[in-house]
Amino acid sequence: MTGFSEQRAVAASAATAPPAARTRGLRKVYRGTVAVDNVDLEVPMGSVLGMLGPNGSGKTTTIRMLLGLVTPTAGEVELLGHKMPDGAALALPDVGALVEGPGFHPFLSGRENLMRFAAAEPLLATSAITTAVGEAIERVGLTKAANRRYRGYSLGMKQRLGLASALLVPRRFVVLDEPTNGLDPAGTREVRTVIADLHAAGTTVLVSSHLLAEVEATCTHVAVLNQGNVVAQGELAALLEAGSANLLVSTPETTLGLDALRERRIPARPVPDGLLVDLTASTAPAVVEVLVRAGVPVHEVRRQRTGLEDLFARLTEDSAVTELPDLDTLIPEEAR
Amino acid sequence: MTTTADLPATTTTSSRPRRAPLTRLLRSELRMVLRRPRTLIGLGLLGLVPVVIGIGIAIATSSSDGQPIGEGIAALVAGNGLLLPIFALVVALNMLLPLTGAMLAADALAGEASHGTLRGLLMAPVGRARLLAVKAFGVATVSLIAVTLMAVTGIITGTALLGGDGMLTSSGTSLSFVDGLGRVGLTVLLVTIQIWALAAIALAVSAYTEHPLIVVVVALGLVIVSGVLSVIPALDWLQPALITTSWESVADVIQDPLSWDPLVNGVLRAACYLVIGYSIALARTLTRDG
């Protein structure tokens, strides 16, 4: 997949800056089990990178090594320009993270829990702690439940509190591991808003998720992990573009259209309400011309974005998957 | 947003480790430990121990018409109120106080790890050595609070129920009230150091596991096994190494004049356990996966 490395003009300035995080040949073996193998990940400064992968693909282990929580078996990690885990004291104050679900004391209220973590934040002045905690609570919409014990929190409230602890201090880099786990649709939307706000403020964000729609809606970059390896990474748009070679034609006359296209050796197959045309050997204008000349009524022609779901399925299936997009894949949902 | 982190020493803030003030961390740790319900319940129960013993002795002496109610230190306590806190502490040192120390150490690292809160502290970041220091401070301080609390309720109960305007020593001499208080203070110190030693071992175990229960089991197992080994005559050569050996000598504080040798030995033995425990805990904390 060669097209991924091309940088668009808007990203050019970010490309010259050192990446927020970078790993080289990262490997982690837990008692004979290889959790992460030879991962070269790069999180460009200012990007929102979505880390995708099936369960057990090494997402969380990679993140834990990025944050210096786990020492790699082999390879290097650089976080905000500092070698990890030795540079933790230099890099981590600027990094906020929600890893492996929220961790808090059940007998303390949400606010007290945050106060405790705030006390440990190097960048917070002692006098600013109360304000910072209050703002973080407000930002994640927990104001009403802030003084209740964490024990009684719902899954979504726990997740929000975890998010709040990652946002206690203005960060340069925020790492969110499955941030929408257990959140209702409103909560999911709020997390997206938070990520968008962070991005707008110039903060680099790394979001790991198995929810593709979430990544597609919020990320500028994507890295796909499978079985401990990075199988693809790059700008989201470029990744989708590379896999997109279909044209969706709305027409009631599918049989007529198929015949016309086959005559010109253009591969196509019927789908509900029309035809799905493979553009690898043709172009959109040519296809439309063929159809119109054959007298096929065309209601709508749309270049079909491959959708992250297709891409993901292709990349994480076992073996022989890097071929051209085949026409048997599911049709993605309507473009949002 | 600055992106100067890659260039060495471009700004002072990016090349020098930044840390939260230590006093703030210690205060936060102490506040958290003292908010934990089981800490409070444990402290409350420990504070009641001298009261219960005092009431028991008061009832026993009032009904037995001056006959001896027991042997050793317990017999001395009747009419000798200042001995009550010392007696209560020596009794509690056998099981209740080690249990408390083990529980505090278990919650400090293993408990935090099981709640996922240790990760949060590591990512703040609190340096790993610093984290252990903060945890050790919390365990040590609350142990001291527990022992002091027992001494205070013991003094109050003893003087109120058992009376006595001084302290009758086991050597038969009398000490003034102030000197007696001094002996209570010395007991508090000695008992606390012994609990610190056991808690250090427990903290080392705590650094290895995510299950607080394992820490408590191992620490109390150590106490019980030491106690059993110490009564086997064939294993006398083992005595100097057993943690419980020092505990028996704590009762010597009511001799007059004080014989310092066993007390100093006990402190030195505790110091050895402290060094061993904290060395293991530190080695593990520095490499532990968060």
Burial A69-102 (b: 16+ CB within 10 A, else e): bbbbeebebbbbbbebbebbbbbbbbbbbbbbbb
Q: Which residue of B has its CA nearest to A105?
A: B115
- A86 and chain B in contact, CB less than 8 A: no
Confidence grade of residue B71 (pLDDT, cut at 50, 70, 90): low
| Residue B8: count of CB within 10 angstroms of its CB | 9
According to CATH, the topology of domain A245-304 is Alpha-Beta Plaits (3.30.70)
pLDDT higher than threshold 50 for residue A321: no
Q: How confident is the model at residue A281, as a pLDDT?
A: 74
Chain A residue numbers with beta carbons less than 8 Å from the beta carbon of B14 are: 81, 90
Q: Tell me the pLDDT band of A11, cut-offs 50, 70 and 90.
A: very low
Three-class SS state of A150: helix
Helix axes A110-120, A155-166, angle to 10 degrees: 20
In chain A, the percentage of residues whose pLDDT exceeds 70 is 88
B59/A contact by beta carbon, under 8 A: no
CA dihedral of A116, B96, B166, B81, whole degrees rounded to 10: 110
B11/A contact by beta carbon, under 8 A? no
Residue B24 has its nearest CB partner, among A70, A82, A126, at A126
Task: Tell me whether A47 touches chain B (CB under 8 Å).
Answer: no
A35 and A228 in contact (C-beta within 8 Å)?
A: yes
Distance CA B68, CA B45 (A): 28
CA dihedral B230→B231→B232→B235, nearest 10 degrees, is 30
SS3 B58: helix
Give the residue from B3, B4, B11 with the most A CB atoms within 10 Å of its CB, the best one to mutate: B3
Only one residue has tokens 């030995």, namely B265
Lowest mean pLDDT among A122-126, A214-218, A293-297: A214-218
Residues of B in Cβ contact (< 8 Å) with A97: 123
Partner-chain residue, chosen from A95, A122, A165, that has the shortest CB–CB distance to B18: A122
Interval A169-182 mean pLDDT:
91
What are the pLDDT digits (tens) for B177-226? 899 999 999 999 999 999 999 999 999 999 999 999 999 999 999 999 99
Q: What are phi and psi of B155, to 5 degrees?
A: -60, -45
The pLDDT score that the predictor gives to residue A145 is 93
User: A8: pLDDT confidence band, cut at 50, 70 and 90?
Assistant: very low
DSSP-assigned states of every residue in A30-96: ETTEEEEEEE--EE-TT-EEEEE--TTSSHHHHHHHHTTSS--SEEEEEETTEEETTTHHHHGGGEE
Of B47 and A305, which is predicted with more confidence?
B47
Arch. (CATH architecture) of A3-241:
3-Layer(aba) Sandwich (3.40)
Residue B8 contacts A, CB cutoff 8 Å: no
Task: Compute the average pLDDT of residues B147-164.
Answer: 92
Nearest CA in chain A to B285: A69
Q: Where are the domains of chain A?
A: 3-241, 245-304
Task: Give the pLDDT mean for B242-261.
Answer: 88
Q: Would you state the pLDDT for residue A278?
A: 80
Does the CB of A126 have a partner CB in chain B at under 8 Å?
A: yes
Q: In chain A, positions 156-175, which contact chain B (CB-CB < 8 Å)?
A: 165, 172
* Residues within 8 A of A (CB atoms), B 72-91 only: none
Query: If you measure CA to CA, which chain B residue comes closest to A91?
Result: B14
For residue B2, give how far its alpha carbon lies from the nearest alpha carbon of chain A (Å).
9
Helix (H), strand (E), coil (C) string for B139-190: HHHHHHHHHHHHHHHHHHHHHHHHCCCEEECCCCCEEEHHHHHHHHHHHHHH
Chain B residues closer than 8 Å to A82 by CB = 5
Q: Does A136 touch chain B (CB under 8 A)?
A: no
pLDDT, tens only, A232-288: 888 888 877 766 677 888 888 888 888 888 888 888 888 888 888 887 777 888 888
Query: What pLDDT does A97 receive?
Result: 94
Between helices A155-166 and A129-139, what is the axis angle to 10°? Answer: 130
Across the interface, do A120 and B28 touch by the CB < 8 Å criterion?
A: yes
pLDDT tier for residue A135 given thresholds of 50, 70 and 90: very high
- Other CB atoms within a 10 A radius of the CB of residue A20 amount to 31
Say if B37 is an interface residue toward chain A (CB within 8 Å): yes
The ranges assigned to domains in chain B are 20-56+65-287
Rg of chain A over Cα atoms, rounded to whole angstroms, equals 23
Q: Which residues contact B156 (CB under 8 A, 6 or more apart)?
A: none
Q: What is the dihedral of CA A309, A312, A317, A323, to 10 degrees?
A: 100
Give yes or no for a cis peptide into A85 (omega within 30° of 0).
Answer: yes
H or E element: which one contains B214? helix B212-230
pLDDT band at A330 (very low <50, low <70, confident <90, very high): very low
* In the predicted structure, residue A207 carries a pLDDT above the cut 90: yes
- Cα four-point dihedral sign B11, B17, B23, B27: positive
For testing contact with chain B, the best of A79, A105, A168 (most B CBs within 10 A): A105
pLDDT in tens, A111-121: 999 999 999 99
Query: Quick one: A16 exposed, middle or buried, by C-beta within 10 A (0-12, 13-18, 19+)?
Result: exposed
CB contact under 8 A, A67 and B24: no
Using the predicted structure, report yes or no on whether residue B97 has a pLDDT greater than 70: yes
Does A267 contact chain B (CB < 8 Å)?
no
pLDDT at A130 over 60: yes
Whether residue A2 has pLDDT greater than 50 = no
List B166's β-bridge partners, or say none. Answer: B176
Smallest CA–CA distance, residue A33 to chain B, in Å, is: 16
Mean pLDDT of A28-55: 90
Which of B19, B119, B124 lies at the smallest CB-CB distance from A99? Answer: B119
* Mean pLDDT of chain B, nearest integer: 88
Contact at CB, B123 and A99, closer than 8 angstroms:
yes
Mean pLDDT of chain A: 83
Task: Name the band, by pLDDT with cuts 50, 70 and 90, for residue B16.
Answer: low
pLDDT value at B64 more than 70: no
Q: How many residue pairs from chains A and B have C-beta atoms closer than 8 A?
A: 111
Element (H, E) at B120: helix B117-123
Q: State residue A272's pLDDT score.
A: 82
Phi-psi map region of B153: left, alpha, beta (phi>0 left; psi -120 to 50 alpha): alpha
Of A69, A89, A93, the CB nearest to B119: A69
Inter-chain contact B36–A107, Cβ cutoff 8 Å?
yes
In 10 A of CB A137, how many CB atoms? 23
**Helices vs. strands in chain A: H and E counts, helices first:** 12, 15
Q: Say which residue, A3 or A222, is predicted with more confidence.
A: A222
Measure A179 CA to nearest chain B CA, in Å.
15
B25 in Cβ contact with A120 (< 8 Å): yes
